[in-house]
Homo-oligomer: A and B are copies of this chain.
Amino acid sequence: MAEKSKLWYLENFNLFKGLNSEKLEHLNKITNMKDIGKNQPIYFAKEPSNSIFFLKKGRIKLTRTSNDGKEMILGLINPGELFGEMSIYEENERTDFALAMEPALICAINKEEFKKFITENTELNLKLTRLIGLRIKKYTERIEELVFKDAAQRIISFMIRLADDNGKQLGSDVFVKPFLKHQDIANLTACSRQTVNSVLTDLREKNIIDFDRRKLVIKDKDSLLKFIS
């Protein structure tokens, strides 16, 4: 990878927008671009956490596994987003597991280097603080959803968020591509694969959504919103 393009990448991460070229150059020196293959791990749980990451290309899922082998997905990471940032706050090892869902390009920064860089760039500190606030908000909302909503409502909420984050408006429809496999949706919404399937096919029969392995189309968002009232 040419150094020039790496610099360009850095500049395009939300977090780094507005930094001057001197600072970007310094950031460039302490970062490391890396290609990750499909289904390859980026880090493991219980691994000492020395780095934080930015995603340039691909999709990452952050997961946790129960004692008896069940998987839950804590969150999905899209290009331009930071992940693994908990290593700034936790002393020891990571508690989750990051996996590339498709071929990905990531940018790694050493935790200590990044900490130092932050203290020298207080405007970054503010952005980071805001980001952490958003994370907490997201997690508490997730808890709320698990407590108050049933499986169908959780799946529908997930689709709406997915469409908001990754969808393209096309006429009156919203396209999301790629979609996720049912098992992943199940692991995100805390229900079984079969329940995901039956909810999705039911909504398709009602002409509210359409989907196949690779795409999701939301044809009638208003009806979806009614379900989660």
Contacts and interface: CB of A to CB of B under 8 A. Distances in A.
Nearest to A74: B140
A98 to B, nearest CB: 14
Given A132-B136, A135-B136, A136-B135, A144 B72 contact: yes
B146 A190 contact: yes
Given A90-B133, A143-B143, A148 B66 contact: yes
B148 A146 contact: no
A139 interface: yes
Contact of A67 (B88, B132, B229): B229
Interface in A72-111: 72, 74, 86, 88-90, 95-96
A133 B136 CA distance: 10
B136 A190 contact: no
15 contacts: A64-B140, A66-B147, A72-B147, A74-B140, A74-B143, A86-B137, A89-B133, A95-B137, A95-B140, A132-B136, A135-B136, A139-B140, A142-B143, A146-B190, A147-B190
Given A86-B137, A95-B137, A132-B136, 17 more contacts: A64-B140, A66-B147, A67-B229, A70-B148, A72-B147, A86-B133, A89-B130, A89-B136, A90-B133, A95-B140, A96-B140, A132-B132, A139-B143, A142-B143, A143-B146, A146-B146, A146-B147
